[in-house]
Structure 1
Amino acid sequence: MPLLDLRSAIRSIWSKKLVILVLAGLGAGLGGAVIPLIPEKFTAETSLYFDPRPIGGADSAQQAPTAPELITTMIDSQTQILSSGKVLGRVVDALKLDQDPQFNGGAAGDAAKYIAAAALGKAVQIAREASTYVVTAKVTTGDPLKSARIANQLVSSFMEEENKATANSYKSSNSALDSRLDDLRQQVLSAEKAVEAYRADNDMVAVEGNLISDKRLSALNDLLVTAQQKTIEAKARAEAAGKLSFEDVVSNNPSSGATSTALSSLRQQYATMAANVGSLQSQLGARHPRLLAAKSSLESLAGEIRAELQRQ
């Protein structure tokens, strides 16, 4: 005799058909009531490309290749900075998220800023694309335009933090170079005095009629001239970059080639976003959220380029 009688099971289910229908109806009704209560989520996505080549290289063909481990460490470090408290704090201040109920948790003052930064950290997802130098940032909120604004500001705040760190590095390098030049200058003066004193005390002449001290002094002079030449070239590049206009940067004008690393990155992002806006304009309506978000991103990048030009 079978353990389960199929006919008996069907008769048992059929006898309770009303209960089953009622439960199914209640489940459908509850599902229909709960679904509208679930908040909508909109995600804006932006990508950053990190160039692993060292800054300031004149000829990439003459540079030694960078070790893959160093490249991975560099990109991981940039990813950490992108989601760091300093960058998130800049975004909170720029967009006044401490006054946004979605982020401040009902708090006010400094507490609202801390809470907003923590909430923003949960809304932001940073991930590196596998086997690439591209890092993707995703921002999820209940408003598509807000997500786009936060994503764009996140990139802007990251660039500001990077520019600040780069500027500090350049200042330290310039200070060290100036100090080294002063040391070399003092060494040259000391060497000149020593030569004069030696000539006065000793009438010793080396081969070909030149004093040994003269050769050493000549070598020091060569080092000083080389250092001064490098300083002049660096100042010339900085002055050329300061004369650029917004149109020079975003166009293919050959004179825009002497741009900083930050401007080059912004120009590349602007060109990509402009192409994206053109593509969306041909496919979508003028008030479509994706097109509006893309235009907002393009305007934000234009503002960043103008700000970078003013800083130079």
Structure 2
Amino acid sequence: MKLSMVEQGKKLENVVEFSRYTRRIRSKIWRLLAVVIVTAVVAYPLIKLIPSKYVATSAVMIKALQDDTTPLPQLSRYDATRSDFYETQYAIVQSRVVIQKAITDLKLDQEPTFNGGFDASQITPDNAALRMEKTLKNVVNNLSVSGVRNTQLIDISFQSPSSEMAANVANGVARAYINYSVEQKHKATEDALHWNQQQMERVQQQMVDQKAAIDAFLKKENMLTFRGVDGYETEQLGIITNRLADATQRRIAAQSQYDEVQKALADHAPDEIISLPEFSGHAQIQDLRIALTQTRRSLAELRKRYGPKHDKILEAQAQVDTVNGQIGLVIGELARGARQQFQAAQDEENRYQTMLDAQKGNFQQLAGKRDQYNTMMTALNKTQELYQTLYQRAHE
């Protein structure tokens, strides 16, 4: 089957022809080899003249959020989602204070390779600042700090002709950064503790003043903290109310008895009154009833024997009249006693009512004092809560 012209063109386009290039290379191969050999011969001495450099790297892990060793919030809190935190740490590693501390710890300012050529005989206190500046510049120029992607690690690298020196400086800078971070946190903790202690002393003195003010207020207002600031008054009010209720009950009973006595005196004769329930239970009335019965019986028997003008009948009649007179006297005494009992119960009720009215007035006046006392106690409780928080924080 024959292919069309378009398909033949596509087939030719898919074929790359290298033969003409390979022929050109084979024709120039010796010339190219000569150039390579000459270049290698010339470059070898130059490469040998370049001093060897060693790079040592120390990795340090940084954590934006420290481990919570206590239930209390940490003094330093950072947002780990913000990239500027890690950038800040990179800058701190390369800061003057960290590098200078590493130089001091490693005594690099006494090394001629770092301090600008000052040997042991030339080191004096006068050139200490100059040596430190030159050493600081050399360390900074050969130091590099970078973060490891997607980790919390920092690579601290140092380049030096000596592998041992490169490792020492890299580790020294990492150690200086760690110590600096620890010192900063320790300083923050000490500052917080000092401030916390000052606040504790201030709050403690405030509690003492508030308690003294409450005691002075209670003494001034003559108040007792018995079951609360109004407990004593409430107890007194309850006692008086109960006594008033008892006095009212007694007054009602005495008044009822007095009214019955007065009604009986108005509606009945003395010999009938002694048969009423209000009087019949009295001991004297019972004796007089017996005496009246006996004298009446004697009078009736004598009347059967003698005439109405007989001396014995007159004598018996006199005895009956005497008993009736005694009954009248006793009834009068009972009536006066009922009246006095009623008046006494009424006076007692009025007295307790007066006491209750006065106690109510005192209790109403106590409301404002109670509010003031509660306000002072609330402030004291809040101060005590603040002191407990500071005390707990101081022992973190």
TM-score for both structures, normalised by structure 1: 0.60
Matches within 5 A, 1:185-200: 185-200=204-219
What is the CA deviation profile of residues 52-78 of structure 1, one whole-angstrom value per residue up to 9, with x for unaligned ones?
Answer: 214655369xxxx964554x2222212
Q: Identify the range of structure 1 (205-214 vs 168-177) with the bigger mean alpha-carbon deviation.
A: 205-214
1:24 to partner: Cα distance? 6.6
Query: Could you tell me which amino acid in structure 1 is paired with residue 176 of structure 2?
Result: S
1:170 and 2:203 equivalent? no
| Residue of structure 2 in register with 1:97 after alignment | 108
| Residue of structure 2 in register with 1:39 after alignment | 51
1:201 and 2:220 equivalent? yes
Matches within 5 A, 1:60-209: 67-70=79-82, 72-107=83-118, 109=127, 110-203=129-222, 209=228
Q: Distance in 1 between matches of 2:144 and 2:390?
A: 46
Q: Distance in 1 between matches of 2:179 and 2:79?
A: 28
Query: Could you tell me which amino acid in structure 1 is paired with residue 89 of structure 2?
Result: Q
1:177 to partner: Cα distance? 0.3
For the aligned residues, what is the CA RMSD? 3.3
| Residue of structure 1 in register with 2:390 after alignment | 227
Asked whether the 8 Å contact 2:92–2:98 carries over to 1, the reply is yes
| Residue of structure 2 in register with 1:216 after alignment | 379
Asked whether the 8 Å contact 2:64–2:79 carries over to 1, the reply is no
Residues 164 and 122 (structure 1 numbering): CA distance in 2 closer, same or farther, change over 3 Å?
A: same
Listed as ranges, the gaps of 5+ residues in structure 1 are 1-8, 235-312
1:25 to partner: Cα distance? 6.0
Secondary structure of 2:65's counterpart equals coil
Asked whether the 8 Å contact 2:199–2:390 carries over to 1, the reply is no
1:104 to partner: Cα distance? 2.0
Q: Identify the range of structure 1 (158-167 vs 38-47) with the bigger mean alpha-carbon deviation.
A: 158-167
Q: Identify the range of structure 1 (94-103 vs 119-128) with the bigger mean alpha-carbon deviation.
A: 94-103
Deviating 4+ runs (over 6 angstroms):
none
What is the CA deviation profile of residues 27-63 of structure 1, one whole-angstrom value per residue up to 9, with x for unaligned ones?
Answer: 4332121121111111111111111214655369xxx
What is the CA deviation profile of residues 137-184 of structure 1, one whole-angstrom value per residue up to 9, with x for unaligned ones?
Answer: 111111111111111111111122112211211111011101110111
1:207 to partner: Cα distance? 11
Secondary structure of 2:141's counterpart equals helix
Q: Distance in 2 between matches of 1:230 and 1:153?
A: 35
Query: Could you tell me which amino acid in structure 1 is paired with residue 57 of structure 2?
Result: E
Matches within 5 A, 1:47-66: 47-54=59-66, 56=68, 58=70
Report percent identity of matched pairs.
17
Matches within 5 A, 1:293-312: none
Asked whether the 8 Å contact 2:145–2:156 carries over to 1, the reply is yes
Q: What is the total number of aligned residue pairs between the two structures?
A: 216
What is the CA deviation profile of residues 161-213 of structure 1, one whole-angstrom value per residue up to 9, with x for unaligned ones?
Answer: 11221121111101110111011112111101211221122246799623413
Q: Distance in 2 between matches of 1:104 and 1:222?
A: 59
Residues 178 and 24 (structure 1 numbering): CA distance in 2 closer, same or farther, change over 3 Å?
A: closer
Secondary structure of 1:137's counterpart equals strand
TM-score for both structures, normalised by structure 2: 0.48
Q: Distance in 1 between matches of 2:40 and 2:384?
A: 90
Q: Identify the range of structure 1 (216-225 vs 151-160) with the bigger mean alpha-carbon deviation.
A: 216-225
Q: Distance in 1 between matches of 2:88 and 2:155?
A: 14
